[in-house]
Amino acid sequence: MKKYNVCIVGGGSTYTLGFLKSFARMQNEFPLNKLVLFDIDADRQKPIGQYGDIMFAERYPELDFSYTTDPKEAYEGMDFIFMQMRAGGLKMRQQDEHIPLSMGKIGQETCGAGGMAYGMRSCKDMIAAIYDIRKYAPDAWVLNYSNPAAIVAEALRREFPNDTRILNICDQPENVVRSTSRLLGCNWEDLDPVYFGLNHYGWFTHIYDRKTGEDLLPKVREIVKEKGFLPQDAEQRDQSWLDTYGFVKTMLEDFPDYLPNTYDGYYLYPEYKASHLDPNFTRADEVMAGRESRVFKECAEIIKEGKLGDKFDAISDAHAEMMIKVAEAIAFNTNERFILIVENNGAICNMQDDAMVEVVCELGINGPRPMRVGNIDQFYLGLLVQQVSAEKLLVDAFFEHSYKKALMAFTLNRLVNDAKVARKLLDALIEANGDMWPELK
């Protein structure tokens, strides 16, 4: 069986430990020859790399594992490159969330003004990274889930129009399917969803039982009405995530047609959401105090002891597993179904062809084959056309260095929605981002 070479860009990410453990756990189904971590921040990546050295020596001794800040060392000979960079780091995520909230607007990692601010930084760094990758690994598959994935996907589509081996993915639709399976008391892999939307803005029109073909959505609606909605891994989640998932109940009461993605809450209830977020302690603060400090504490403990022993915790990591299974589908040409971000080209019939949409795809060695959704109803079409327009205008602003286009993007985004506020926000974010953004004229 062929063994694969994989690189993780953003080796110092809080998600890397989950990947290292998952690659070790999945070594029989997806065998690796070489695994390299790459980051621009050597100090941040080092403890994660040292953890990997210890863990793999015990669990995967034949694996050639290393970590580096040198692109050539990282990319040469790679089959798959998993991209999980955070342009500007969690400190800038904090600014993305705090600045809009200080003006009464939602501050969120990927939605609204904060998401657009992050988008400008990510487009710049992701494009530069992909040029580096293509210099050393022209044929590698690039699996990108760096956020904001919708905006990054649009920018990559324009900058690399002929590159058919860049795939943009988000785990949230699958997280919602997994959560639904917990509610139904079944295995999530027995569910066969139909989904449409943009990244972090979509709906499930059907949740079929894979064996019987029954549409379980009516049942799901009834159960959510009675019991609410929880993430599949609720026991490991912070309160803010439990609240976000819990809000699915409200959305289903108001808009019962389809099961929503959890992120829809920001777009459907912007005023309610903004008034319930704490401007001085947002999700970025919670992540720094929680996940980030837990990950680096875990590394420090293992490095101090010099061995893992029985500390290889058995809890699986849904995010890493999904991304590895995406690589498997390509490597083994399985044509398994995933919900992926692809160019529309008629999948949602009444949306423009060049929108980057999120739909169910079959995935194999030649990339994703989107499954047709058909026409979507006016309400959803209205919401999505507004958002896709905002995203496209932001990417125009990025490439054309256009303040005017950025102002249009901010004004059009439902979470800003007012030109005067848009201008104030844009000016504050230009100031906060300095040369992490292109200069807008």
| Interface residue list for ligand NAD (CB under 6 A) | 9-10, 12-15, 39-41, 44, 84-87, 89-90, 125, 129, 145-147, 149, 170-172, 292, 319
With CB under 6 A as the contact rule, which of the stretches 54-62, 169-177, 340-348, 354-362 interacts with ligand G6P? 169-177
**Ramachandran area for residue 202 (φ above 0: left; ψ -120 to 50: alpha; else beta):** beta
Provide CB contacts within 8 A for 102, sequence distance 6+: 279
CB of 173 to Mn ion, least distance (A): 9
Least CB distance to ligand NAD at residue 299 (A): 13
Q: Which stretch binds Mn ion (CB under 5 A): 18-26, 172-180, 277-285, 330-338?
A: 172-180
Answer yes or no whether residue 171 interacts with ligand G6P by CB under 6 A.
yes
263 catalytic per annotation: yes
Cβ(260)–Cβ(195) below 8 Å: no
Residue 172 interacts with Mn ion (CB under 5 A)? yes
Least distance from Mn ion to the Cβ atom of residue 233, Å: 15
Cβ-based neighbours of 292, under 8 Å, separated by 6 or more: 14, 90
The residues with which 144 forms a beta bridge, in sequence order, are 83, 168
Tokens describing residue 68: 């580096």
Q: Which residue, 63 or 101, is less far from ligand G6P as judged by CB?
A: 101
Q: Tell me how many residues contact ligand G6P (CB under 6 A).
A: 7
Burial of residue 409 (CB within 10 Å: 0-12, 13-18, 19+) is buried
Q: What is the Cα–Cα distance from 409 to 404, expressed in whole angstroms?
A: 9
With CB under 5 A as the contact rule, which of the stretches 37-45, 168-176, 331-339, 355-363 interacts with Mn ion? 168-176
**Cβ nearer to ligand G6P, comparing 170 with 230:** 170
Q: Under rule CB under 6 A, which residues in 86-145 are in contact with ligand G6P?
A: 109
Cα 192 from Cα 184, distance rounded (Å): 13
Rounded distance, CA 88 to CA 121, Å? 7
d(CA 168, CA 122): 13
Q: What is the smallest separation between the CB atom of 145 and ligand NAD, expressed in angstroms?
A: 4
* Position of minimal CB gap to Mn ion: 170
Among residues 268 and 295, whose Cβ is nearest to ligand G6P? 295
d(CA 17, CA 388): 34
State yes or no: residue 172 binds ligand G6P (CB under 6 A).
Answer: yes
Minimal CB distance to ligand G6P: which residue? 172
In eight-state DSSP terms, residue 41 is -
Describe the strand order of the beta sheet including 259-260 as a list of residue ranges: 191-198, 201-209, 259-260
Smallest separation, CB 148 to ligand G6P (Å)? 8
Please identify which residue in 48, 170, 390, 415 interacts with Mn ion, judged by CB under 5 A: 170
- Dist CA 147 CA 110 (whole Å): 7
What is the DSSP track for 329-391?
HHHTT--EEEEEEEE-TTSBTTS-TTSEEEEEEEEETTEEEEPP-B---HHHHHHHHHHHHHH
Closest CA to 336 of 233, 210, 202: 210
Q: Which is nearer to Mn ion, 94 or 172 (CB)?
A: 172
Given the complex with ligand NAD, which of 289 and 419 has the nearer CB atom?
A: 289
Q: Which of ligand G6P, Mn ion, ligand NAD, none does residue 86 bind to, with CB < 5 to 8 Å depending on kind?
A: ligand NAD
Eight-state DSSP code of residue 257: T
**Shortest Å, Cβ 238 to ligand NAD:** 13
**257 catalytic per annotation:** no
Q: Cβ of residue 74: shortest distance to ligand G6P, in angstroms?
A: 23
From 15, 263, 266, 267, the catalytic residue? 263
Q: Which two tokens stand for residue 76?
A: 């040469």
Is residue 147 near ligand G6P by the rule CB under 6 A?
yes
283 binds, among ligand G6P, ligand NAD, Mn ion, none (CB under 5 to 8 A by kind): ligand G6P
With CB under 6 A as the contact rule, the residue among 121, 157, 283, 325 that binds ligand G6P is 283
Residues in contact with 293: Cβ distance below 8 Å, sequence separation at least 6, in sequence order: none
**Residue closer to Mn ion, measured from CB, 172 or 282:** 172
**Contact residues for ligand G6P, defined by CB under 6 A:** 109, 147, 170-172, 283, 287
Q: Which residues are catalytically annotated?
A: 171, 263
**Contact residues for Mn ion, defined by CB under 5 A:** 170, 172
